Every structure is written in structure tokens, then in C-alpha cells.
Amino acid sequence: DVKVTQSSRYLVKRTGEKVFLECVQDMDHENMFWYRQDPGLGLRLIYFSYDVKMKEKGDIPEGYSVSREKKERFSLILESASTNQTSMYLCASSSIIQGVRLNTEAFFGQGTRLTVV
């Protein structure tokens, strides 16, 4: 079974702290994604990566950065956490079809519920 593991299920951080959310996948997937999910807003893409050291902005990248030093690991970084970044964060991974950067089935982690106080 494909497994996408997020380092924490629940996290409480203080305003201004630097926060790292870690995600690891075990299926050698090329693509990895970070989403945030808020009530009434659905899932919104923050960043995604289609290869090691490659990243592209999603719909809401402001206030976030990412790091992908190894294929299996994709980190989301909140440089200076703010209360409006309190949310559920979901990591996902997927493979590509025949060299085309097209998503196949994406596998999601269980999510990290981050509270910034």
C-alpha cells in the first residue's frame, strides 16, 4: 500500500515561530503537493514539486516555502507563523504518466492540524 506520512497529526505553535511540516512518501512518486483545507473553502494548493529541488507555486503560496532535497520528502515551511495560517495541512503524492507531468491517482496523508496561537 502506498503510504504518505505526515510528521505530526496535531501541532500548536506560537505566532512568529518558524514551523516545519514534513511529509514522506514511500512509492517513489515524482509529484508531491501541499494543500491547506479550511471550512467552506475546500482544498487549496500551496506548492507542488515534480522533481527533487523543483517547486512551483500553487494558488496560495504567500507566507509559505517548501523544500524537496530528496525524492521521498517534501517539507512545508512557515517562515513566521501567523494566526491566519491555522488550518488543516494535507500532503499528497502522485506519479506521472509516460514522462508527461500529468497526475495519476494522488495519495494523501492524514493531515496535520496546525493551530497558531
Partner 1 sequence: LAKTTQPISMDSYEGQEVNITCSHNNIATNDYITWYQQFPSQGPRFIIQGYKTKVTNEVASLFIPADRKSSTLSLPRVSLSDTAVYYCLVNTNAGKSTFGDGTTLTVKP
Binding site for partner 1 (CB under 8 A): 4, 31, 33, 35, 41-45, 48, 50, 56, 58-59, 90, 92, 94, 96, 100-111
Q: Which is nearer to partner 1, 13 or 44 (CB)?
A: 44
Q: Which is nearer to partner 1, 27 or 80 (CB)?
A: 27
**Shortest spacing between CB 59 and partner 1, in angstroms:** 6
Backbone angles phi, psi at 105, to 5 degrees: -55, 130
CA 31 and chain centroid, separation: 11
Q: Which is nearer to partner 1, 58 or 63 (CB)?
A: 58
Q: Which is nearer to partner 1, 17 or 51 (CB)?
A: 51
**Shortest spacing between CB 30 and partner 1, in angstroms:** 8
**Shortest spacing between CB 19 and partner 1, in angstroms:** 20
Q: Which residues contact 8 (CB under 8 A, 6 or more apart)?
A: 21, 112
Grouping H, G, I as helix, E, B as strand and the rest as coil, residue 85 is helix
